Amino acid sequence: MNKDTVALTLASLLSIILFTLHLADDIARGFETGRLANLAAVPILVIWLYGAVILTERRSGYIITLLGSMLGLLVPFIHMSGKGVGLGSRIGNTSGALFFVWTLIAIGVTALFSLTLSARGLWNLRRNR
């Protein structure tokens, strides 16, 4: 296992952890309903986890982590569109705003890093054929 593979696995795991923390924060703040529909994230995250941990260095693993990373990049984009998360928003004046915004930025960083490593892994697989 090379260092890119280890970095991709760790970045994907970190993205998944941050995503679950952020989803829980969304539910706790009332941004999400906290109903059964939120459990749709569980199988998606399990597939992402499987791709990152079990299917390492395989085309299917790279594709899964690439798609998971794209999904992770949507989180900060969605929250920062429209009113965003600044002082004029619902989150801006609450006590947990720092954690909320930090998870958005951290998800964006780890997801973009994972996306880059996934694309690089796919490219290397193609080149090595």
Instruction: For residue range 39-87, list pLDDT tens digits in order.
Output: 999 999 999 999 999 999 999 999 999 999 999 999 998 888 866 666 5
From the number of C-beta atoms within 10 Å of its C-beta (0-12, 13-18, 19+), residue 36 rates as: exposed
Q: What is the average per-residue pLDDT within 11-20?
A: 96
Mean pLDDT of the chain: 89
Q: What is the average per-residue pLDDT within 24-32?
A: 85
**3-state SS string over 12-65?**
HHHHHHHHHHHHHHHHHHCCCCCCHHHHHHHHHHHHHHHHHHCCCCCHHHHHHH
Angle at 26 between CA 67 and CA 40, to 5 degrees: 45
What is the predicted pLDDT for the residue at 78?
86
Cα–Cα distance between 62 and 59 in angstroms, integer? 5
Cα–Cα distance between 113 and 15 in angstroms, integer? 10
Of 71, 104, 68, give the one whose Cα is nearest residue 86: 104
What is the predicted pLDDT for the residue at 9?
97
What is the residue type of 36? L
Considering the entire predicted model, what is its pTM?
0.88
Instruction: Say if CB 71 and CB 44 are below 8 A apart.
Output: yes
